[in-house]
Structure 1
Amino acid sequence: MNTGDYKRLAPKELGRYMRYYRSKAGITAKGAAEVIGKTYQAIYRYESGTTSLSPVDMFRLLAFYGVAEDDAFTEPWETVDNPSRVKAAGSLRAQELMEVFASLGDQEQKVVMQVARLAKKSMGEDGSKPGCGELE
């Protein structure tokens, strides 16, 4: 679909695409709202198709999500309509990481595990960011 053809999408379809792109980019509704000067509730209304998104705001959000205009609205509808497919892509990344980890030697795996434990341990209950620590 050509970017100009977005007008042919029903509001719910357009909203679903926008939610897909935001989710794929790992951006919160609050972050998206700040870009266009709206509330996060407005983002949810746009994504559910209950209110219209202006073309200017739509293109600003697409740019923020890292979607090139030529690539916008080209994904197969089955991918956009099924959020679990985005999660499946995350599962593939995890699988790839596990394969890389398995290819490491014993000593390298130990170092990776120490780093992971330190990162997890340094995450505070309050959600603070990881701090610096010494390897054991």
Structure 2
Amino acid sequence: MSSKRIIVEKPVAQDFIKKFTNKVKKLKVGDPRQPDTVIGPLINQWQLDLLKGQVEEAINKGAKLLCGGKYKGLCHYPTVLTEVTTDMKVFSEETFGPVAPVIVARDADEAVALANNSRYGLSAGVITR
């Protein structure tokens, strides 16, 4: 399982986002039969369209695209979004693709509240140091 939301406390957010985005940019996308491929294709066009729609909706509502957001065939390039809010689908729904919404919390209490702010049992990471 991979985290669908990454919640980071504000004091470490800028450094984390920079390092995380740089790592994500290096992930190889393509044919999963190739040993250096990390991200393969999505299962079908419907899933790609759903993922594209979630990313586009987030950007249209004010999320900032740091990397990715592109696709080729059924491959969706790993995407990092910041300035994500709770009304965006990338926050409140499963994305089933290589999209990492990064949410900045003021403190640990807000991070826990954000992690619990979903009708689904979504996985999330809380980074505090």
TM-score range, shorter chain: under 0.3
Greater helix share, structure number: 1
Greater strand share, structure number: 2
When Rg is computed on C-alpha atoms for both structures, the one with the higher figure is: 1
Q: Which has the higher contact order (CA 8 A, sep 6+)?
A: 2
